[in-house]
Amino acid sequence: MDFNLTTTDAERKFRFELGVFLDQELTTEICRQHSMDLGLGKEAREFALKLGKTGWLGRGWPERYGGSGGTVIDEYILVQEFARREAFVPNIVARFMCGPVMLRHGSEDMKSEFLPRIAGGEIEFSLGYTEPSSGSDLASMRMRAVDDGDSFVISGQKTFNTQSHFADYHWLAVRTDPDAPRHRGISLFVVDQRATGITISPIDTLGGERTNEVFYDEVRVPKTRLVGELNKGFYYMAEALGYERLMLFQSIRLVPSLNRIIAHTKVTSRGGDLLCNNPYVRRHLAQMATEIKVAQAMEDRAFALLKNGKPLDHEASLLKLFGSAMRQRFADHALDILGPTGRLENNASGDPLGGEIAKLAKMVVIDTIGGGTSEILKTVVATRGMGLPR
């Protein structure tokens, strides 16, 4: 299979022009204004609008919905070039999870209303999947939507809805048929995140990011905000999760951090010798670099399948399973290399890399949980990829 993904002149041109734009427009402040760090701020919103005007945020989408044409490889280039610069694509939940599902399953009115605004960088979405008693087992969710004429009335609670405090809309999964088999009674809705009856309460996490509990108290949602068919929401979520696992974490994001660690070992001594000469440190660095390359090869293979018109089955789960554990191992290796000072945070005296490794070590704890726990993904790989019995 051909893993050389950027093969056409148009793709090469897009990568070059996007890179020039990002090098000119991205600032440290914008790079930090995402859900896992500072949250969305004024600078990031202005940047999203500027990117939207280029048409590149909608790259890969039909022009009639605010896109600029292109292929799935253009979408890969988009996330890769942001990751290369340690930044995230704006409104990433809307762009790579909600938008593609709308594009395939939404009504014409819904696509016309939301897709151009997503591609224009105008609106943000928050995922509303997890409940206190329903995490990786999404089919067990209990939050209810009751049919009431031209609307549904929704009551219940979601948890770990990370972007809800700044998102414009909630991509909400709820149970619409309590008597149907678990997977067949769930529907998806687009809900105004500031609708009457919604209460958002913060949850502070180990990694320093804010996530939220979201409470619905008889919130009325028009039937026009139903995504696709009634009671098909679970299948739409499963479809979107595969794409999420491809788009949210690119291994190339770790390369700048690895380069800073390598540079640190070349100027820092321990026991009378430079760290870069220590065999133990060199083994750590080699392992980190190797695993990044392995993850990149797995990403390329997954996108090569899509490029060649083949569906993804267990490949996205395999990539997320390896990549999330790899990020945790990367942080562990880095802490071992830096020694006790690597645990220092927030530019404390003696902190070798501005606290980035201590912060990374806390942030990556969630990686093997969010987007599907490793335990669930191992089962998917075993049954679908290896043909083992359930």
Indicate which residues carry an active-site annotation: 244
Q: Which residues contact 163 (CB under 8 A, 6 or more apart)?
A: 35, 40, 93, 124, 125, 126, 127
The token duo for 343 is 């645990």
Handedness of CA 379, 383, 389, 390 (dihedral sign): positive
